[in-house]
C-alpha cells in the first residue's frame, strides 16, 4: 500500500464519531461604529500609516513626484496612470531594487488593520513584499469591522494568490525588541479614499 | 447543618492548627461537624505521580469514611479537586459519585452553601493571598487572568469580612507557586525558583502574612521563607477567618 | 535517554538573572496576549468556535484530506504523502535532485524541525538557509529553536551580536537590535534572490479550496515562495480546516494568542503556483494517526502552534525551551512528544505542576493539563518510571489504605513523614536543599480531636 492509503486508512480507523460544525453567528462578533477610525488606530499601533484622501488624483501627483526622484517606483493601479505591467516578468534581481510600490487593496479590516490584496492587484506576487516602501490604496466604504465580514466579501479561490497585509514587515526576534523592516516593506501607508 | 470534616493527611500530621481552625470556624457558623476517625488521604500524591492505580485503597477508605453525609468540607482546594475528579469505586459507583458531588473546599462552602455575610474575625495585618491553582482553576474559586470573564474571588470575598485586615494583591495574582506535589522534589530547581518568585512579589508588597486555601502551597512557601530568614509568615485562610482578638 | 527535563532546567536556572529575564520577557508576551484578548468581547466564544471546528475536522479528517488533495491537484499543486519523518525528508530530497537544486531558503516550519530536515539534507551535502530571523540566529549557533514562535528567545542581544559578528561581520559589540536586524535583512535578501527552492510550513490548509495559508510577520515565507522556481509547503495532516470562512476564526485567534498582535503582518493565501513555478505540498503523518486513535490525547491535534501555552507556563518560563529536549517544547510539546517516543520523553508530562494555565489560554481549548495527568498514568503503566519511585508509591499506598498503620506511623515524631515523597528522610532530600521542613507538632489533628471533641 502507498503512504497515502496507509495514512488515510489509519485516519479513517482512528478518527472519532462525526462532530458537528458550529454555526458562526456574525451578530455576536465585534462591530465598530466608526470602522475607519478603528482601522486607522489599529494599523498605526502596528507601525502602519493611514491617510484619508478625498480623491485619487491626490495620489497621481504623488506618484508623478516619486517617479522624478530616479528611484525605482512601481505603479500597479490604473487610476493613477500607466501601469508597470512589465514587472510581471521582471527577474527578482531587478525587483529587489524596487523602492516604492503603489498597490490597490480590495478591502480593509478595522479590527486588525489588515488590507486584502489579490494577485491581480500586485501584478507580481513579490511586489508588496520585496519593495522597500509600500503604498496601499483603497476605498473607505470597503473597510469592514472584522475578519468574518472580510471573508464574506473576498473569494480566496478567485485567483492564484492573495494576502492580508497588516502594516510593515517586523520582527521581535532579538530580545523581543520590535524592529520594523525585517524582510518585507519597511513602511506601509494606506491611502483611504473617501 | 450536618457536615463531615475531611482533614487531609499532611494537615493532620504537620498542620493540625489548620484542622482545628476549620472545625472551630464551621462550628461557630452553626454547623454540626463530625470527623470520621478512620480517614487518611485522598490518594492524590499517588495519582498525580502517575500511580492512580495505586490510589484504589485510598478511594475505598475515603468512601467508607465519608458516605452518607450531605456535605463534606475540607480546608484544601487541591485534595477536594482530586476527590471531585478522580474518586471512584467500581463496586459502589453511586456512593463515589454522591461524594464527588457533595465535597466542598472550605471557602466555597462558606460563600456558596452557608452564604456567609459576616464573620466575627479580626486580623489587623497586611496579608497577601496566594491563589492555589487547583482551587482557582480547578474549582473555580476565583476568576482567572487568562479567561475573559467577569472578576470574582471567593476567598477574597471572605477575607474582606475580617476586621482590620489589609489585603495586598501580588503582581501576578494567579501564578503557580511551584509546589505541584512530587514536582517539588523531582523538579526541585524549578519548584524552588517558582516559590522564590512568588515570595518576592509578596515581599515587594511588604506583607506580614501570606495566606491561602491550600496548606501544601503554604508549606512550600513557608519552607522557602524560613530558609531565607524572612519575617513573613504563612497562615491558612481558616486560621484568619477563625481569629478573634 | 540520558538528559531529563529536571537536570536541564537546573542548569538553566543556575544563571538566575538570566532566568528572571527569560521569565519576565515571556510573561510580557503573555500580558500582551491578555490585552489583545480583552479587546474582543467574543473571545471565549471564538475559542469555542475554533475548538468545535477542529473537533469536526478531526472527526471527518479522511474525507477532508481527500477533498483537499483533489482540489489542490486541480489547482496545479503536487500533493505528496509521507508516513514518517524519513519519507518526508526523502520526498523533499527527490525534488531537490530532480531539479539539481543547490540554493534553498526555508521559512519557519515546526514540522521540518520535528523531521530534522536540515540535518538530513546536510548529510546529503545540501545546505538550507533558515530565513526567519530567530531561526537564522539559532542556525548560526548550531542550536535548535527554544520556542516555536520566538526561536531565539533564550538569547540576549549580546549573544546575537557576537554570533552576527562571527558570521555576518557586523561591528563587534554593536548590540542594537535595529542594526543587527538590518544586517540579517541584507544577508538574507541575497539568499532570497538566488534561491532555487523555497520551503515553507503551512498554518492552515483548506479542504474546500485546496489552498493553504502561511502567516509570518517578517515576510520571509513570501520572499522565498514568490521568488524560487520551486515551492514545497510541508504540513502535518492536522493543519486542515474545512472551509475558507473558518480562516476568520483562526486568524483572529492565532496572532492574538501568540504575541498579542491583532493579526500577523502577512497572512498569505496560496491557491495556485505561478505560471513558471512548481508547487508541492507534503502531507505528513509521523505518529499523528496513532495520536488520533488515542481517545484521551487526540485533541492535542487541534493545536495551531500559537505557543500561548509556552508563554503562560510558569515552568517553561523558568526552564527554557531546550530543557524539553524536543522540537516542540512547552506544555503542548509535553503531550505531543510521548506519542512520538514514550521512553525518550517519559519525563515531559512530569515537567509540570498541573496548574492549568495552559488549558486556559489555549485558543482551541485543548485540555493540556488534563492530558499531562493522563500521560503520567500511561507512562507509569508502560513501565517508564524509576523503580525507586514505584517502591515509594507502593509504600505510600499501603500506609494510606490502612488507617491504623497511618496513625501508628504518625504517633512518634510524625514518622508518616517518610511516606511523603517530598519528605523522604534522606540527607539528599531535594526538599531540604533550598527549603526548611515543616516542624512536627506533638499531636496530630486526630489526636487533638480525640482529646477535645470526642467524649
What is the tens place of the pLDDT at every residue in A118-155?
999 999 999 999 999 999 999 999 999 999 999 999 99
Phi-psi group of C128: left, alpha or beta (phi > 0 → left; psi -120 to 50 → alpha; rest → beta): beta
Nearest to A129 among C55, C222, C251 (CB): C222
Closest Cα partner for A96 from C378, C4, C192, C53?
C192
Q: For the segment C445-455, what is each residue's pLDDT rounded down to a tens digit?
A: 999 999 998 76
B2 or C231: which carries more pLDDT confidence? C231
What is the rounded distance in angstroms from the CA atom of residue A6 to the CA atom of residue A8? 6
What is the rounded distance in angstroms from the CA atom of residue C116 to the CA atom of residue C69? 25
**What burial class does residue A86 get, using C-beta atoms within 10 Å of its C-beta: 0-12 exposed, 13-18 middle, 19+ buried?**
exposed
Summarize the confidence of residues C427-440 as an average pLDDT. 81
A183/C192 CB distance under 8 A: yes
Q: For the segment A61-93, what is each residue's pLDDT rounded down to a tens digit?
A: 999 999 999 999 999 999 999 999 999 999 999
C361/B146 CB distance under 8 A: yes
What is the rounded distance in angstroms from the CA atom of residue B103 to the CA atom of residue C121? 58
What is the rounded distance in angstroms from the CA atom of residue C439 to the CA atom of residue C354? 27
Considering the domain delimited by C40-286, tell me its CATH architecture: 3-Layer(aba) Sandwich (3.40)
Q: Is C363 helix (H, G, I), strand (E, B) or coil?
A: coil
C131/A183 CB distance under 8 A: yes
Is B208 found in the same domain as B139?
yes
Q: Is C447 helix (H, G, I), strand (E, B) or coil?
A: helix
B residues 183-212 closer than 8 Å to C (CB): 183-195, 197
C-alpha cell, C348: 515531559
Residue with cell 500500500: A1
Report chain B residues whose CB lies below 8 A from the CB of C399: 40
Q: For the segment C200-210, what is each residue's pLDDT rounded down to a tens digit?
A: 999 999 999 99
The answer to whether residue B121 is domain-embedded is: no
Summarize the confidence of residues B158-169 as an average pLDDT. 98
Q: Of the residues B113, B148, B172, which one is the last residue of a structural domain?
A: B113
User: Best interface-test mutation with B: which of C34, C345, C353, C403 has the largest number of B CBs within 10 A?
Assistant: C353
Contact predicate C5/B187, CB 8 Å: yes
Contact predicate C243/A151, CB 8 Å: no
**Domain boundaries, given as residue ranges, for chain C:** 40-286, 395-452
Q: Domain with B158 in it: what CATH number?
A: 3.40.50
pLDDT value at position C427?
Answer: 56
What is the rounded distance in angstroms from the CA atom of residue A86 to the CA atom of residue A30? 42
pLDDT value at position B92?
Answer: 61
* Cα dist from A152 to A145, A148, C66, whole Å: 12, 7, 25
Q: Give yes or no for residue C99 having a pLDDT over 60.
A: yes
A170 φ, ψ to 5°? Answer: -150, 165
Residue with cell 467524649: C455
Q: Give yes or no for residue B159 having a pLDDT over 60.
A: yes
Q: For the segment C325-370, what is each residue's pLDDT rounded down to a tens digit?
A: 999 999 999 999 999 999 999 999 999 999 999 999 999 999 999 9
Q: Angle at CA B150, nearest 5°, toward B148 and B154? A: 120
For every residue of C251-299, DSSP letters joined together read: HHHHHHHHTS-SS-SEEEEE-S--TT-EEEEEEE-TTHHHHHH-TTTGG
Distance between start and end Cα atoms, chain A: 60
C-alpha cell, B149: 470573564
Q: What is the dihedral of CA A53, A54, A59, A60, to 10 degrees?
A: 180
Q: Is C103 helix (H, G, I), strand (E, B) or coil?
A: coil
Q: How far is B6 from chain C (nearest CA, A)?
A: 11
Is B74 found in the same domain as B149?
no
Nearest to C219 among A146, A159, A183 (CB): A183
Is B38 found in the same domain as B136?
no
User: Mean pLDDT, chain C, as a whole number?
Assistant: 94
* Cα dist from C67 to B118, C79, C450, whole Å: 63, 12, 71
Q: For the segment C2-22, what is each residue's pLDDT rounded down to a tens digit?
A: 579 999 999 999 999 999 999
B residues 60-89 closer than 8 Å to C (CB): 60-61
Is B109 found in the same domain as B46?
yes
Is B139 found in the same domain as B70?
no
SS (H, E, C) chain B: CEEEECCCHHHHHHCHHHHHHHHHHHHHCCCEEECCCCCCCCCHHHHHCCCHHHHHHHHHHHHHHHCCCCEEEECEHHHHHHHHHHCCCCCCHHHHHHHHHHEEEHHHHHHHHCCCCCCCCECCCEEEEECCHHHHHHCCCECCCCCCCCCCEHHHHHHCCCECCEEECCCCCCCCCCCCCCHHHHCHHHHHHHHHHHHHHHHHCCCCEEEECEHHHHHHHHHHHHHCCCCCEEEEHHHHHCCCC
Task: List beta partners, residue A74.
Answer: A101
- CB-based touch C/B (3+ pairs, under 8 A): yes
Contact predicate C328/C303, CB 8 Å: no
Is B227 found in the same domain as B191?
yes
pLDDT value at position C413?
Answer: 55
Which chains neighbour B (Cβ–Cβ under 8 Å, 3 or more pairs)?
A: C
Residue with cell 473558518: C246
Q: Give yes or no for residue C1 having a pLDDT over 50.
A: no
The half-sphere exposure of A159 on its side-chain side, counting CA atoms within 13 A, is 17
The answer to whether residue B118 is domain-embedded is: no
pLDDT value at position B212?
Answer: 98
Give chain A's domains with CATH numbers.
32-193 (3.40.50.10420)
With a CB cutoff of 8 Å and minimum separation 6, the contacts of C26 are C153, C310, C311, C316, C317
Which chains neighbour A (Cβ–Cβ under 8 Å, 3 or more pairs)?
A: C
Report chain B residues whose CB lies below 8 A from the CB of C435: 192, 195, 220, 223-224, 226-227
Question: In the 8-state DSSP scheme, what is residue C180?
Answer: H
For every residue of chain A, DSSP letters joined together read: --HHHHHHHHHHHH--S--PPPP--GGGS---SSHHHHHHHHHHHTT-EEEEES-THHHHHHHHHHHTTSS-EEE--GGGS---GGGGG--HHHHTT--EEEEE-SEEETTTTEEEEEHHHHSSTTHHHHSSEEEEEEEGGGEESSHHHHHHH--TTSSSEEEEE-SS-EE-TTTT--EE-SSS-SEEEEEEE-
C-alpha cell, A96: 529587489
Is B193 found in the same domain as B109?
no
pLDDT value at position B239?
Answer: 98
Distance between start and end Cα atoms, chain B: 27
pLDDT value at position C342?
Answer: 96
A157/C209 CB distance under 8 A: yes
Summarize the confidence of residues C399-408 as an average pLDDT. 89
User: Mean pLDDT, chain A, as a whole number?
Assistant: 97
Contact predicate B12/B219, CB 8 Å: no
Report chain C residues whose CB lies below 8 A from the CB of B144: 357, 360
What is the rounded distance in angstroms from the CA atom of residue C436 to the CA atom of residue C172? 47
User: What is the extent of the structural domain holding B27?
Assistant: 2-113
Contact predicate C235/C61, CB 8 Å: no
A residues 38-97 closer than 8 Å to C (CB): 42, 46, 92-93, 96
Is B221 found in the same domain as B137?
yes
Whole-prediction pTM:
0.96
User: Best interface-test mutation with C: which of A114, A129, A130 has the largest number of C CBs within 10 A?
Assistant: A129
C29/A18 CB distance under 8 A: no
Q: How far is C293 from chain B (nearest CA, A)?
A: 21
The answer to whether residue B46 is domain-embedded is: yes
Chain A residue closest in CA terms to C91: A3
Report chain A residues whose CB lies below 8 A from the CB of C220: 182-183
Nearest to B186 among C6, C314, C360 (CB): C6
User: C204-206 and C212-216 as β-strands: parallel, antiparallel, unpaired?
Assistant: antiparallel
Contact predicate C36/C261, CB 8 Å: yes
**What burial class does residue C112 get, using C-beta atoms within 10 Å of its C-beta: 0-12 exposed, 13-18 middle, 19+ buried?**
buried
Q: Give yes or no for residue A182 having a pLDDT over 50.
A: yes
Q: What is the dihedral of CA C205, B147, A172, A92, to 10 degrees?
A: 20
C34/B194 CB distance under 8 A: no
Q: Of the residues B79, B113, B147, which one is the last residue of a structural domain?
A: B113
Tell me the helices (H) and strands (E) count for chain C, helix number first: 22, 10
Contact predicate B80/B105, CB 8 Å: yes
C-alpha cell, C418: 517518610
Nearest to C393 among B51, B180, B223 (CB): B51
Whole-angstrom Cα Rg for chain C: 25
The answer to whether residue B219 is domain-embedded is: yes
Residue with cell 530580545: A175
Q: Of the ranges B183-187, C174-178, C240-244, which one carries the lowest mean pLDDT score?
A: B183-187
The answer to whether residue B119 is domain-embedded is: no
Contact predicate C199/C227, CB 8 Å: no
The answer to whether residue B157 is domain-embedded is: yes
Nearest to B40 among C16, C37, C403 (CB): C403
Summarize the confidence of residues A50-55 as an average pLDDT. 96
Q: Of the residues B54, B84, B113, which one is the last residue of a structural domain?
A: B113
Number of domains in chain B: 2
C residues 378-437 closer than 8 Å to B (CB): 379-381, 385, 389-390, 393-394, 396-403, 406, 410, 414, 416-417, 420-422, 424, 429-431, 433-437
Q: Give yes or no for residue B137 having a pLDDT over 80.
A: yes
pLDDT value at position C438?
Answer: 86
With a CB cutoff of 8 Å and minimum separation 6, the contacts of A5 are none
Is B186 found in the same domain as B97?
no
B133/C355 CB distance under 8 A: yes
C-alpha cell, A52: 484619508
Is B161 found in the same domain as B101?
no
A173/C152 CB distance under 8 A: yes
Q: Give yes or no for residue C422 having a pLDDT over 70.
A: no
- CB-based touch B/A (3+ pairs, under 8 A): no
Task: List beta partners, residue A163.
Answer: A117, C268
Q: For the segment B34-81, what is each residue's pLDDT rounded down to a tens digit?
A: 999 999 999 999 999 999 999 999 999 999 999 999 999 999 999 999
Question: Confidence band (pLDDT; 50, 70, 90) for B11?
Answer: very high
Amino acid at each position: 500500500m502507498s503512504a497515502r492509503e496507509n495514512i488515510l486508512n489509519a485516519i479513517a480507523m482512528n478518527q472519532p464519531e462525526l462532530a458537528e460544525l458550529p454555526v458562526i453567528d456574525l451578530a455576536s462578533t465585534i462591530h465598530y461604529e466608526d470602522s475607519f477610525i478603528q482601522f486607522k488606530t489599529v494599523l498605526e499601533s502596528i507601525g502602519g500609516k493611514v491617510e484619508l484622501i478625498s480623491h485619487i488624483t491626490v495620489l497621481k501627483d504623488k506618484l508623478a513626484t516619486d517617479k522624478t526622484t530616479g528611484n525605482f517606483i512601481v505603479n500597479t493601479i490604473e487610476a493613477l496612470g500607466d501601469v508597470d505591467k512589465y514587472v510581471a516578468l521582471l527577474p527578482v534581481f531587478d525587483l529587489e531594487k524596487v523602492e516604492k510600490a503603489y498597490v490597490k487593496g480590495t478591502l480593509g479590516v478595522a479590527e486588525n488593520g489588515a488590507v486584502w490584496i489579490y494577485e491581480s492587484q500586485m501584478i507580481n506576487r513579490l511586489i508588496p513584499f520585496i519593495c522597500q516602501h509600500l503604498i496601499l490604496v483603497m476605498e473607505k466604504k470597503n473597510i469592514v469591522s472584522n475578519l468574518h465580514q472580510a471573508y464574506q466579501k473576498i473569494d480566496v479561490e478567485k485567483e492564484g494568490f492573495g494576502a492580508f497585509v497588516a502594516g510593515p514587515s517586523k520582527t521581535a526576534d532579538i530580545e523581543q525588541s520590535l524592529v520594523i523592516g525585517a524582510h518585507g516593506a519597511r513602511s506601509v501607508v494606506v491611502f483611504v479614499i473617501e | 447543618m450536618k457536615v463531615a470534616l475531611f482533614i487531609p493527611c499532611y494537615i493532620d500530621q504537620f498542620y493540625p492548627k489548620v484542622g482545628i481552625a476549620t472545625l472551630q470556624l464551621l462550628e461557630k457558623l452553626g454547623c454540626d461537624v463530625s470527623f470520621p476517625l478512620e480517614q487518611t488521604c485522598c490518594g492524590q500524591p499517588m495519582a498525580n505521580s502517575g500511580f492512580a492505580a495505586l490510589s484504589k485503597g485510598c478511594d475505598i477508605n475515603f468512601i467508607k469514611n465519608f458516605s452518607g453525609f450531605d456535605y463534606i468540607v475540607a480546608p484544601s482546594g487541591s485534595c477536594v479537586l482530586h476527590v471531585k475528579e478522580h474518586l471512584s469505586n467500581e463496586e459502589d459507583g453511586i456512593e463515589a459519585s454522591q461524594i464527588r458531588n457533595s465535597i466542598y473546599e472550605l471557602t466555597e462552602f462558606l460563600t456558596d452553601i452557608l452564604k456567609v455575610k459576616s464573620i466575627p474575625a479580626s486580623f489587623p495585618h497586611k496579608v497577601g493571598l496566594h491563589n492555589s491553582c487547583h482551587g482557582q482553576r480547578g474549582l473555580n474559586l476565583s476568576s482567572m487572568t487568562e479567561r475573559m470573564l467577569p472578576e470574582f474571588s471567593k476567598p477574597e470575598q471572605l477575607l474582606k469580612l475580617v476586621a482590620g485586615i489589609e489585603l495586598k494583591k501580588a503582581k501576578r495574582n494567579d501564578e503557580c507557586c511551584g509546589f505541584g506535589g512530587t514536582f517539588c522534589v523531582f523538579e526541585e530547581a524549578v519548584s524552588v525558583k517558582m516559590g522564590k518568585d512568588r515570595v518576592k512579589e509578596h515581599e515587594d508588597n511588604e506583607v506580614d502574612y501570606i495566606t491561602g486555601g491550600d496548606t501544601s502551597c503554604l508549606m512550600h512557601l513557608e519552607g522557602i521563607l524560613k530558609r531565607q530568614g524572612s519575617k513573613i509568615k504563612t497562615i491558612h485562610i481558616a486560621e484568619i477567618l477563625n481569629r478573634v482578638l | 535517554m540520558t538528559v531529563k527535563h529536571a537536570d536541564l532546567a537546573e542548569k538553566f536556572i543556575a544563571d538566575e538573572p538570566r532566568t528572571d529575564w527569560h521569565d519576565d520577557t515571556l510573561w510580557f508576551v503573555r500580558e500582551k496576549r491578555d490585552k489583545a484578548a480583552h479587546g474582543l468581547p467574543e473571545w471565549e466564544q471564538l475559542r469555542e468556535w475554533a475548538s468545535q471546528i477542529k473537533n469536526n475536522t478531526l472527526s471527518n479528517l479522511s474525507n477532508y484530506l481527500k477533498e483537499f488533495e483533489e482540489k489542490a491537484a486541480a489547482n496545479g499543486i503536487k500533493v505528496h504523502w509521507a508516513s514518517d519523518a524519513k519519507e518526508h525528508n526523502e520526498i523533499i530530497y527527490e525534488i531537490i535532485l530532480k531539479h539539481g537544486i543547490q540554493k534553498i531558503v526555508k521559512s519557519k516550519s515546526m514540522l521540518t524541525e520535528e523531521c530534522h530536515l536540515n540535518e538530513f539534507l546536510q548529510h546529503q551535502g545540501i545546505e538550507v538557509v533558515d530565513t526567519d530571523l530567530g531561526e537564522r540566529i539559532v542556525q548560526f549557533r548550531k542550536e535548535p529553536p527554544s520556542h516555536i514562535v520566538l526561536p531565539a528567545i533564550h538569547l540576549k542581544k549580546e549573544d546575537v551580536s557576537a554570533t552576527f559578528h562571527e558570521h555576518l561581520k557586523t561591528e563587534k559589540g554593536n548590540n542594537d537590535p535595529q542594526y543587527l536586524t538590518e544586517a540579517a535583512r541584507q544577508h538574507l535578501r541575497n539568499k532570497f534572490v538566488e534561491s532555487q527552492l523555497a520551503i515553507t510550513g503551512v498554518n492552515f490548509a483548506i479542504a474546500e479550496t485546496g489552498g493553504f495559508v502561511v502567516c509570518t510577520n517578517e515576510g520571509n515565507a513570501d520572499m522565498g515562495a514568490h521568488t524560487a522556481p520551486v515551492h514545497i509547503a510541508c504540513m502535518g495532516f492536522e493543519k486542515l480546516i474545512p472551509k475558507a470562512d473558518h480562516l476568520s476564526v483562526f486568524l483572529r485567534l492565532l496572532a492574538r494568542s501568540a504575541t498579542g498582535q491583532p493579526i500577523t503582518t502577512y497572512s498569505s493565501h496560496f491557491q495556485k503556483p505561478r505560471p513558471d513555478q512548481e508547487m508541492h505540498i507534503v502531507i505528513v503523518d509521523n505518529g499523528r494517526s496513532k495520536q488520533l486513535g488515542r481517545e484521551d490525547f487526540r485533541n492535542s491535534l487541534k493545536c495551531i502552534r500559537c505557543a500561548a501555552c509556552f508563554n503562560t507556563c510558569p515552568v517553561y518560563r523558568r526552564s527554557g525551551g531546550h530543557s524539553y529536549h524536543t522540537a516542540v517544547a512547552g506544555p503542548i510539546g509535553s503531550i505531543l512528544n510521548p506519542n512520538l517516543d514514550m521512553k525518550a520523553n517519559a519525563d515531559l508530562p512530569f515537567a509540570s505542576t498541573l496548574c492549568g494555565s495552559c488549558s486556559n489560554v489555549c485558543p482551541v481549548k485543548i485540555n493540556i493539563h488534563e492530558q499531562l495527568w493522563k500521560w503520567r498514568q500511561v507512562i507509569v503503566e508502560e513501565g517508564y518510571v524509576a523503580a525507586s519511585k514505584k517502591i515509594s508509591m507502593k509504600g505510600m499506598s499501603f500506609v494510606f489504605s490502612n488507617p491504623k498503620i497511618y496513625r501508628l506511623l504518625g504517633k512518634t515524631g510524625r514518622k508518616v513523614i517518610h511516606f511523603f515523597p517530598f519528605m523522604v528522610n534522606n540527607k539528599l532530600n531535594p526538599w531540604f536543599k533550598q527549603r526548611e521542613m515543616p516542624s512536627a507538632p506533638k499531636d496530630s489533628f486526630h489526636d487533638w480531636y480525640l482529646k477535645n471533641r470526642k467524649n
